[in-house]
Amino acid sequence: MRVLSGMQPSGTLHIGNYLGALKQWVEAQSVDAFYCVVDLHALTLEIEPETLRSQSFDLIATFLAAGLDPDVCTIFLQSEVPYHAQMNWLLECVATYGELSRMTQFKEKSSRKTGYRVGLLTYPVLMAGDILLYETTEVPVGDDQRQHLELTRVLAERFNNRYGSTFVVPVGVQPKVAARVMDLQEPTRKMSKSLSSPLGSIYVTDSASAIDKKIKKAVTDTDNEVRYDWEHKPGISNLLDIYSSFSNEAPQVVAERYTRYGDLKSDLSALVIESLAPLRTRHHELMADPAELRAVVTNGAVKASEVAGSVYRRAAHAVGLI
Ligand code: AMP
Ligand code: TRP
């Protein structure tokens, strides 16, 4: 099994990113796991250069604080392995304009602004390259990346059919619960870095009092019955998903223990605070040691380049480059 996944350095992670992706990454880490900060992807939207740089290091610190071990898996910055940009071009010449313009995330993000960047359209091709460069078999990501994963498979198969067997065709893996954590204030919308209301997202470095306040104020409903039922009770089901993901139990089992919303919220608050406390402390320590973070990604880029280089050369040769 070969694992690769990536995350954009677009600000502090919320518990959706953590439960939907990072927690799975930690569980799947091995010598065959590659995890990257996709800093090139962050350039598809406006971002201050200094902000991009500091958020990239911050994300590396979060990876380590969450339990990724650079002695076990490979942790790197996408831009420091030039094969990603090169593979992007080979795959852009396999992908079609039509299929890229049909991507849901592109339609959402491009509709918010006139004069969007071309990179926003080709974003999933760069992502496909990230994955295919590592002969990846499994990609642990949240539910919102399903469509991009499917496109990656389509591009890999199209390339293999046209140029001969070159790429391993990967599958996406989502966690059983919390693959789509919803906004605490609007439980029919996913928790998001950019669009959430101030009380809608819990960030992994939030203080205990901030976490407690957000959970206590989370939107529920008026019938006051604790039941796991996404269709009729999205607010409570979201809280049960978060609970069960942190406690590694089934959400239905958690639901059976509670009759009152208040009790569920109090226990959930204590659980989230306790689970995230070590991450928060470690993140703080790591941010004070930029040399250590630099060393981790420098070493990671060397290890990643070995694998990515050989796959890139195979693909370049297959299309006819000398
Ligand atoms: P991004 O911040 O968009 O780079 O996302 C990083 C990872 O977090 C990806 O694997 C996403 O699928 C995952 N993710 C983002 N938002 C959520 C959410 N609300 N629930 C679960 N997973 C999420
Ligand atoms: N598009 C992903 C997101 O927004 C980030 C990403 C880029 C990624 N390259 C990847 C995820 C490769 C998994 C594998 O979350």
Q: Check pocket membership of 174 for ligand 1, CB cut-off 6 A.
A: no
Q: Which of these, 86, 8, 29, lies nearest to 321 by C-alpha position?
A: 86
The answer on 93 and 17 residing in a single domain is yes
The answer on 224 and 95 residing in a single domain is no
Asked if residue 109 belongs to a domain, the reply is yes
> Which residue has 């890229």 as its token pair?
100
pLDDT value at residue 145: 96
Among 41, 151, 171, name the best residue to mutate to test ligand 2's pocket (greatest count of ligand atoms within 8 A of Cβ).
Answer: 41
Averages of pLDDT over runs of 10 residues in the chain (322 residues) are 97 96 97 98 96 98 98 98 98 98 93 89 98 98 96 98 98 94 95 83 96 97 92 96 97 96 97 97 96 98 98 98 95
Q: Amino acid letter at 215?
A: I
The answer on 215 and 170 residing in a single domain is no
The answer on 236 and 155 residing in a single domain is no
Asked if residue 201 belongs to a domain, the reply is no
Domain of residue 70 covers 3-178+289-319
What pTM, to 2 d.p., does this model score?
A: 0.96
Residue 96: alpha-carbon gap to chain centroid: 25
The answer on 8 and 92 residing in a single domain is yes
Query: Any residues with CB less than 8 A from the CB of 92 and at least 6 apart, and which?
Result: 122, 125
Ligand 2 centroid distance, CA of 267 (Å): 33
124 CA: nearest ligand 2 atom? 1
- The ligand 2 site (C-beta within 6 Å) comprises 4-8, 38, 41, 127, 130-131, 139, 141, 145, 148
pLDDT value at residue 250: 96
Residue 100 token pair? 């890229």
pLDDT value at residue 288: 96
Task: List the CATH number of the domain containing 156.
Answer: 3.40.50.620
The answer on 58 and 9 residing in a single domain is yes
Domains: count for the chain: 2
pLDDT value at residue 257: 96
pLDDT value at residue 158: 98
Asked if residue 187 belongs to a domain, the reply is no
Task: List the CATH number of the domain containing 238.
Answer: 1.10.240.10
**What are the catalytic residues?**
109, 190, 193
Q: Are 9 and 49 in contact (CB under 8 A)?
A: no
